[in-house]
Structure 1
Amino acid sequence: MAERLSAREAVALLADDFSEIPYPARKSKPDGPLAWQGYDASRARAAERTGEQESVVCGTARVEGTRAVLIAFEFGFLGGSLGERTGDRLEAAYTYAREHRLPVVPLVATGGSRMQEGMLALSQLQRVARQSALTRAAGLPQIAVLRDPTTGGGWATLGAGADVVLALPGAQVGFAGSRVRPADADPTAYTAEAQVAAGAADAVVRPQELRETLGLWLRLLARRSGTAGDGTADGRTPEPAPAPVPAPLGTADLPATGWDAVRRARSPERPRAEAYLDAYFTRRAAVSGDRCGGTDPGMLCGFGEHGGRTVAYAAQTGTATRPAGYRTATRLIRLADRLGIPVLTLVDTPGAANDAEAERQGVGAAIAELFATVASARTPITSLLIGEGGSGGALALAAPGRTYATPDSYFSVIAPELAAAILKRAPEEVEPTADQLRIRPQDLVDLGVIAPDGGRNPHSAAPRPAP
C-alpha cells in the first residue's frame, strides 16, 4: 500500500506556492439533504481531525514554473468522498481554470460518493463529468495524479477521464473499492501498476520524481493552452506549423532495386524509432495504453520538445502493430488535435497483427478509427517512413500529402513474398515481383505517394526522384 498523503502534503510535494480559490457558499440542512442522523457530527469530527472543511481543496500553484489549478482530495475527510459541497468546489475549480486558461491537475484520493447524501452525492459525478467536458472543449489539458486510494466515481471521472494519468507506486486504483469487491478478487488487479499494464493509466511515478514529471507534462501540454503566451486574446490557439521532418539516420544512397529496398528496411542494423525520437527531441514524455484494456510496446506515443515547442509523436518500432497500438495512436492524435499541437508519425511495420487474438480485439475497427482520425485532424501531421511500410497497417499512420521517406525504407500494398504467393509465382520470382510493385522510395515519389522535398524543408528526408 502506498503512503497516504493529506491534501496539503500532496500539494506540497508538487509546488511551493498554493493559493486557494474562492468557494461558493451552500446552506446545509441539519444532517444533510437526507437528514442522516449523525452526519453533521461526522463532518465536524472530520474537520477537527484534518483541519479541512470539505473533502477537496482547490487552488492555483506553479509546478516547475507552469501555473495550474490543483484539485487535492483529503481522504481523511470522510474517505475523500464526493458530496454536494464537494461538487460545488470542483465546479468552481474547473470554472476558474477555464476563465484563466489554466490546465487542471486532480490529485485524487477518494473512496467514491458520500452515502449520507444518497443519490444527490452520486449525481455529482455527472456534474464533474460536465465540467471536465467543458474544460476539454476549451482546449485545456487535464493531468491526473492517482493517490491511495483512487476508487469509485472519483476514478471513473477525475482519474480515468484525464488526458494523462500518472499514479503513485502501490496506490489502490480501481472502480470497485476494497470493501465491495468479490471475495475471491485478485487484489493485484486493483493497483496503479495493474492499471498501467492494462492501458488505463500512463505511468507509475515515484513521489520524489513527481514534481519534475508533472512539470514536464504541464510544459508540454499547457504550452498551447494560453499559459505560455501562445494563445490569442479570445482564448483560441493559432494554427500550429507542421512538425519538421526528422533528418535520416541511416544510409544516404537510394536502393537500386525493389528487393534491395526490402532488404535494407528489414536490416537489424537500420536505425529504429527510438533512435529517431532521441535525435529529434530534447525531452519527451510517453503516453501508454488505449484506455480499452490494452497496450502495445510496438507503438511509441507521447509528446516532446523540438526546437523550443511541443510536438506529439506516434512511432511504430518495426513490429506488427496490434489493435491497442492503433487505438493508442488514435488517442494521441485526438489529444494533440484538441490542444493544437502538431504531430509527427514514424511509419515502420511489416503490417498489422493478423493473429486470432488481434481479430478478437478488433484490429479492423482499430485501423479504421486511426484512418478516420488522421483524415479529420485539424492539426498538421507530418509522417516519415523509416523502414517497412506494410500495407494498410502502415498507411493508417501516414499523413496524406505530408509523408516522406528515408532511403532505407519501402512502402508496399503487400509484402513481395505474399504477392508472389497470391499470384502463384515461384520463389525465385519474389525479387522481380518487388520491382514490379514499385516500392522503392524514389518509385513512391514518382507515383505521388511520398512527398518530394522540392527544397521546401531543409530537414526533409524525402528522396528525390531518380533521373
Structure 2
Amino acid sequence: MIYLDFEKPLAEIEGKAGELRALGRSDNGMDVSKEAEALDRKAETALRDLYRNLTAWQKCQVARHPDRPHCKDYIEALFSEYTPLAGDRAFADDHAVMGGLARIADRPVVVIGHEKGNDTKSRIERNFGMARPEGYRKAIRLMELADRFRLPVITLVDTPGAYPGKGAEERGQAEAIARSTETCLSLGVPLISVIIGEGGSGGAVAFATANRVAMLEHSVYSVISPEGCASILWKDAEKMREAAEALRLTAQDLQKLGVVDRIVKEPVGGAQRGKAEAIEAVGKAIEIMLNELSSKKPEALIRDRRNKFLDMGSKGLAA
C-alpha cells in the first residue's frame, strides 16, 4: 500500500497490525489475533475520519494516487468484445490515448480514454496520460466513426493535461484539442464522459464536452493544476493548497456549478482501496446515463449538449 502524506497516522496503525500478525506467525506460539483485530478496527475508524472531509488539495493527491484504477482497468472490467483501433491516419499512434469498439451491457459503443500506465515502463510508454496531437486526432477519428454507425461514445478522462512538448506544439497541439472539442459538440449520438482521476485543462475538455459528465467522488477537474496556478498567481508552487481551494476543482464544487451532472461514490479510502467496487459503480452510472439518452434524436442530443456548455458561464457567475 502506498500511503499519501495525510494518511501517515493510518500507515502507523496498519503497520503495527501487520507487525503483530507477523509476530503471531513466528514460532514463539504467541496469540496476538485480538490485538491485531483491535488495531484493524482502529485503522478502519481512522480511515473513515480521514476521508470524511478531505480538503481540495488532499483530493488532488487521491486523484493522482498511482494505485487508482486507470482507463485500461475499466475497459477490461466493464466492456466486452473490446477491439482497439490505433493511429490517427496522419502521423502516429499515441499510446496515451486508447480506444476502440466494444460492448457495455450488451450495447455496442465506442470507448475512448486517457491511459497513464501502472509501472515505470508503461508510464513512459503512455507518456503519463498526456496526449499528443495524434492522440486527439485518433479520438476524433473514433468519434466520427461512432457518429457514422450511430454508436454511443463513452470517454474516460484521466490526464494532467495535454503534452506541452516542442514536437507536440509543432504538430498542432492546440488545433487538435480544439477540433476534438468541436467534434464532441457535433456528434449526433450520445456522448458520456467520466472523470476517473485527473481532468486537466483542455486536454480533458477535448474528451469531456459531453451530454453527461460524471466524476468519481475524489477525482478533480480544473483549468490548470494547483501547482501551475500557484506558480502563476503567487510565483510559488508551494502555495498549491491555497490554489486548489480557489480553483474549485472537486466533484462536489463542480456539481454545484453545473459543470458535472453526477458524482460516482468511491469506496472508503478512495478507489485505490476498492478497485472492483469503484469500477462497478462507474459501470452502473454509465448504464444509467446511456438509458437517459438512448431515446433522444440526433438533433436533440446536439442541441442539448451545446446549450449545456453555453449555460455554464451564467451558472458559474450565479454561484
Same fold flag (TM > 0.5): yes
**Structure 2 residue 74 is matched with structure 1 residue 276:** yes
In the alignment, structure 1 residue 309 sits paired with structure 2 residue 107: yes
Deviations 1:106-146 (A, max 9, x none): xxxxxxxxxxxxxxxxxxxxxxxxxxxxxxxxxxxxxxxxx
What is the alpha-carbon distance in structure 2 between the residues aligned to residue 355 and residue 458 of structure 1?
A: 34
- Measure the CA separation in 2 of the matches of 1:314 and 1:263: 24
Distance 1:294 1:310, change over 3 A: same
Asked whether the 8 Å contact 1:344–1:382 carries over to 2, the reply is: yes
Query: Following the alignment from structure 1 to structure 2, what is the Cα–Cα distance between the partners of residues 408 and 453?
Result: 9
Query: Separation in 2 of the partners of 1:274 and 1:458?
Result: 14
Residues of 2 paired with 1:341 and 1:266: CA distance?
31
Q: Normalising to structure 1: TM-score of the pair?
A: 0.43
**Per-residue deviation at 1:452?**
2.9
Higher relative helix content: 2
Tell me how far apart the structure 2 counterparts of residues 298 and 427 of structure 1 sit (CA, whole Å): 26
- Render the CA deviation track for 1:402-461: whole Å, top value 9, x for unaligned: 11001231001110111011112434421121011111111111111110369xx99228
How far apart, CA to CA, are the structure 2 residues paired with 1:392 and 1:340? 26
> CA–CA distance in 2 between the matches of 1:282 and 1:458?
12
Assess if the C-alpha contact under 8 Å between 2:251 and 2:263 holds in 1.
Answer: no
CA distance in 2, matches of 1:400, 1:343: 9
Larger radius of gyration: 1
Matches within 5 A, 1:236-385: 256-318=54-116, 319-385=129-195
Note the C-alpha offset of 1:382. 0.5
Separation of aligned partners in 1, 2:216 and 2:107: 24
- Which residues of structure 2 form unaligned runs of 5+? 1-47, 117-128, 265-281, 289-319
CA shift at 1:309, angstroms? 2.0
Size of the aligned set, in residue pairs, is 209
Per the alignment, in what secondary structure is the counterpart of residue 436 of structure 1? Answer: helix
State whether residues 270 and 408 of structure 1, in contact with CA within 8 Å, keep that contact through their aligned partners in structure 2.
Answer: no
For residues 199-238 of structure 1, the aligned pairs below 5 Å read: none
User: Percent of aligned positions with the same letter in both sequences?
Assistant: 38
- Is residue 2:229 matched to residue 1:413? no
Q: Distance in 2 between matches of 1:280 and 1:373?
A: 25
Q: What whole-Å deviation, never above 9, does each CA across 1:275-305 have from its counterpart, x for those lacking one?
A: 1111111221010000002111110010112
**Aligned equivalents of 2:87, 2:53: Cα separation in 1:** 36
- 8 A contact 1:262–1:409 mirrored in 2: yes
1:266 CA drift (Å): 1.1
Distance 2:217 2:194 in 1: 11
| TM-score of the aligned structures, taking structure 2 as reference length | 0.62
Equivalent pair of 2:254/2:260 in contact (CA under 8 Å):
yes
| One-letter code aligned to 2:251 | P
Cα distance, 1:402–1:442 mapped onto 2, change above 3 Å: same
Distance in 1, matches of 2:66 and 2:233, equals 29
Q: Which of these residues, 265, 268, 284, is aligned with residue 459 of structure 1?
A: 284
Q: Distance in 2 between matches of 1:267 and 1:384?
A: 17
| AA partner of residue 276 (structure 1) | Y
Matched, 1:441 2:251: yes
Using CA pairs under 8 Å that are at least 6 residues apart, name the structure with larger relative contact order, 1 or 2.
2
CA distance in 2, matches of 1:412, 1:405: 12
Over residues 177-217 of structure 1, what are the superposed CA-to-partner deviations in whole Å (9 max), with x where a residue is unaligned?
A: xxxxxxxxxxxxxxxxxxxxxxxxxxxxxxxxxxxxxxxxx
Contact 1:284–1:304 (CA<8 Å) still a contact in 2?
A: yes
- Determine the C-alpha separation between the residues in 2 that align with 1:284 and 1:458: 15
